[in-house]
């Protein structure tokens, strides 16, 4: 009996130990199962501490909810995941703004508008750009064009210019900008220099301070918005000569673009080529009024424009545009327009292609004739006149001849137009061989071909010495 009781006690102890072990195992198993399911019920980022260090440039952590926000150009989409994020899962979604040589073709909105008006300002430059009600003026012609710039902005209803660009300090580019700034204010005024020792430039500085925030010298690669368009500075201050300081910029609108070169010459063109920047453009504003010093083959090959505009004065004394750049444009199969022959030239773009309208039509032969020379076939009737000599009087009968002429250095052309030199300071006009012309500052000279009445209508009076 005692042996049975002892056996029973030992058995109970063993059973108790076994039951205790089984109970502990059960509790541990149940605890692990509950923990696993509880974790699955917690959405990622809610009340869960994530102690990993994400790159500060690519992500931001919301301190209130603990969520990870990725900075992109588009509004973020909310997502829920049941597995932890890894650092590699966000790196491909993060974009860091960088300078690139490729243009970003952003499709303009459906109601967007864009136009570029190349203004006929003679032997000078001026272009007014509009995009979605925002305006940009690139150069303003000579001092004589100040009143015209004022009138154009007034008639267009432009009381504020988003951007004004003086491509460089020469009078035939910045001379008329005071007129524009006399009517409109400006948010940003760009120029490669802030001082230049001429009255025209000092006037420009005066109005830049009065109607804007002064002159800003941009940096290469700087980008400025203009409505749905983007303005990019491609080059400036590439040489000591004022022409080679010219701001070269591109205006991109959708898949179309316009390249403005000021008076940039070979040196400046080569500097831009060396930079490797994307020069391709739909429309090229030809450099330096079509001078042979600009629009080199390498530069033109990189641009490959469909259209080109030469801003040039009729019958100018420089021989612009010269034959070589015209030949290069012809070889590149570029359609050329000229302000001396076409007047104001307006391009409009829908972001995919451009269309052009001109104030005056001109033949291809005229456009591609160098020196501002238009080949004119005209019938000239010479009136009867009497030539007296010492011993005899010779009477010349009227004759009718057909002549083909080109403007030359002579004072009178067969079309009846006369070459004058006007002083933009004194408002007097002279014959080219007048003594007063030799005393005139080059910056005040305006080479004009036309009628006497045209000059008088423009506010000029004839010289009292040469009596033109």
Measure the CA–CA gap between 239 and 269, rounded to whole angstroms.
11
Is the model's pLDDT at 5 over the cut of 90? no
Contact 139, 165 (CB under 8 A): yes
Mean pLDDT is lowest, of 159-163, 330-334, 428-432, for 428-432
Q: Which residue is listed with tokens 């505009």?
A: 309
Please indicate whether residue 44 or residue 22 has the higher confidence score (pLDDT).
Answer: 22
The confidence band for 73, taking pLDDT boundaries of 50, 70 and 90, is: very low
223-226/248-253 β-pairing: unpaired
Percent of the chain with pLDDT over 70: 69
- Report the half-sphere exposure of 232 (CA within 13 A, side-chain side): 21
Measure the CA–CA gap between 233 and 213, rounded to whole angstroms.
19
Residue 290 to residues 244, 320, 366, 371, 450: CA-CA distances in angstroms? 15, 6, 15, 9, 22
The structure tokens listed for 150 are: 């004022």
CA 105 from chain center: how many Å?
A: 15
**Which residues are bridge partners to 381 per DSSP?**
400
Write out the E strands in 67-180.
68-70, 114-118, 126-131, 134-140, 160-165
pLDDT tens-digit series, residues 213-269: 999 999 999 999 999 999 999 999 999 999 999 999 999 999 999 999 999 999 999
With 0-12 / 13-18 / 19 or more C-beta atoms within 10 angstroms meaning exposed / middle / buried, residue 316 is buried
Measure the CA–CA gap between 49 and 59, rounded to whole angstroms.
16
Contact 120, 147 (CB under 8 A): no
The structure tokens listed for 464 are: 């009292």
Q: Which of the 8 DSSP states describes residue 441? A: -
Percent of the chain with pLDDT over 90: 56
Q: What is the mean pLDDT of the chain?
A: 78
Backbone torsions φ then ψ of 174, nearest 5 degrees: -110, -5
Contact 313, 123 (CB under 8 A): yes
Q: Which residue is listed with tokens 């080949």?
A: 375
**Which residues are bridge partners to 171 per DSSP?**
none
pLDDT tens-digit series, residues 272-297: 999 999 999 999 999 999 999 999 99
Mean pLDDT is lowest, of 29-38, 39-48, 125-134, 458-467, for 39-48
Measure the CA–CA gap between 417 and 45, rounded to whole angstroms.
83
Measure the CA–CA gap between 253 and 228, rounded to whole angstroms.
7
Sign, CA torsion 359/364/368/369: negative
Domains of the chain: 114-367 (3.60.15.10), 382-462 (no CATH)
Residue 368 pLDDT: 96
The structure tokens listed for 183 are: 């009517």
């Amino acid at each position: 009996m005692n042996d049975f009781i002892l056996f029973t006690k030992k058995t109970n102890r063993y059973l108790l130990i076994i039951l205790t072990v089984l109970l502990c195992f059960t509790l541990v198993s149940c605890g692990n199962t509950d923990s696993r399911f509880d974790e699955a019920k917690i959405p990622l980022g809610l009340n869960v501490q994530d102690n990993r260090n994400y790159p500060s440039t690519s992500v931001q952590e919301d301190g209130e909810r603990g969520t990870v926000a990725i900075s992109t150009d588009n509004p973020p989409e909310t997502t829920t995941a049941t597995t932890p994020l890894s650092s590699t899962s966000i790196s491909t979604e993060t974009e860091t703004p960088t300078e690139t040589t490729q243009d970003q073709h952003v499709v303009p909105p459906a109601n967007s508008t864009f136009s570029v008006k190349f203004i006929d300002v003679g032997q000078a430059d001026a272009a007014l750009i509009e995009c979605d009600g925002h305006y940009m003026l690139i150069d303003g012609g000579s001092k004589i064009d100040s009143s015209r710039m004022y009138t154009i902005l007034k008639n267009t209803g432009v009381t504020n210019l988003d951007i004004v660009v003086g491509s460089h300090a020469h009078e035939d580019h910045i001379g008329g900008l005071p007129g524009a700034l006399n009517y409109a204010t400006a948010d940003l005024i760009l120029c490669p220099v802030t001082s230049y020792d001429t009255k025209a430039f000092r006037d420009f500085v005066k109005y830049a301070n009065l109607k804007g925030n002064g002159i800003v010298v941009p940096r290469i690669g700087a980008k400025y918005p203009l409505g749905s368009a983007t303005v990019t500075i491609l080059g400036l201050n590439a040489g000591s000569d004022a022409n080679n300081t010219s701001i070269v910029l591109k205006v991109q609108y959708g898949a179309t673009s316009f390249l403005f070169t000021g008076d940039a010459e070979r040196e400046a063109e080569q500097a831009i080529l060396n930079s490797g920047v994307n020069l391709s453009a739909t429309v090229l504003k030809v450099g330096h009024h079509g001078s042979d010093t600009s629009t080199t083959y390498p530069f033109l090959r990189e641009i490959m424009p469909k259209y080109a505009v030469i801003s040039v004065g009729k019958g100018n004394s420089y021989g612009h545009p010269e034959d070589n750049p015209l030949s290069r444009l012809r070889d590149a199969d570029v359609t050329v327009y000229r302000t001396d022959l076409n007047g104001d030239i307006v391009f409009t773009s829908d972001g995919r292609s451009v269309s052009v309208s001109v104030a005056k039509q001109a033949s291809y032969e005229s456009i591609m004739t160098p020196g501002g020379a238009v080949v004119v076939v005209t019938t000239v009737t010479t009136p009867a006149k009497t030539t007296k000599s010492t011993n005899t009087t010779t009477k010349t009968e009227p004759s009718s001849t057909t002549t083909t002429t080109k403007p030359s250095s002579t004072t009178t052309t067969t079309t009846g137009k006369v070459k004058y030199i006007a002083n933009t300071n004194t408002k007097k006009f002279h014959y080219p061989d007048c003594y007063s012309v030799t005393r005139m500052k080059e910056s005040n000279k305006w080479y004009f071909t036309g009628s006497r009445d045209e000059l008088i209508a423009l506010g000029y009076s004839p010289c009292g010495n040469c009596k033109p």
